Amino acid sequence: MISTDKHYHAEAPQTIEWNFRIPPSQLKSAKLQLLTIGGISVTGVWEGELGQYYVAWAPMMKYDKSEFNRVVEAYRQSRTQPSH
């Protein structure tokens, strides 16, 4: 069952520092946060020239993997509980 604990902690989101240049060669095949020519932030791998598809990149945001796993497992457990 998913926890209904009311002790939540909220923080301001991380600020993305955009790099307005092509990523270094060692990052070209890495998953990045990309800013498209339409001004939309997406996750993907850099393709093309600067300004062709993307105008900037940033490293992926970090997250607490143990919390991630806890939430996924809680959801899975809730799906296996019989309905009353």
Instruction: At 17, list the tokens.
Output: 């520092």
Of 11, 18, 22, whose CA–CA distance to 63 is shortest? Answer: 11
**What is the per-residue pLDDT across 40-78, written as a single tens digit (0 to 9) for each?**
999 999 999 999 999 999 999 888 999 999 999 999 999
**What is the per-residue pLDDT across 28-42, written as a single tens digit (0 to 9) for each?**
899 999 999 999 999
> Is-contact 33 16, C-beta < 8 A?
yes
Helix (H) or strand (E) holding 34: strand 32-36
Question: Considering just the CA atoms, what is the radius of gyration of the chain in Å?
Answer: 18
User: Is the pTM value of this prediction over 0.75?
Assistant: no
Of 54, 50, 59, whose CA–CA distance to 27 is shortest? Answer: 59
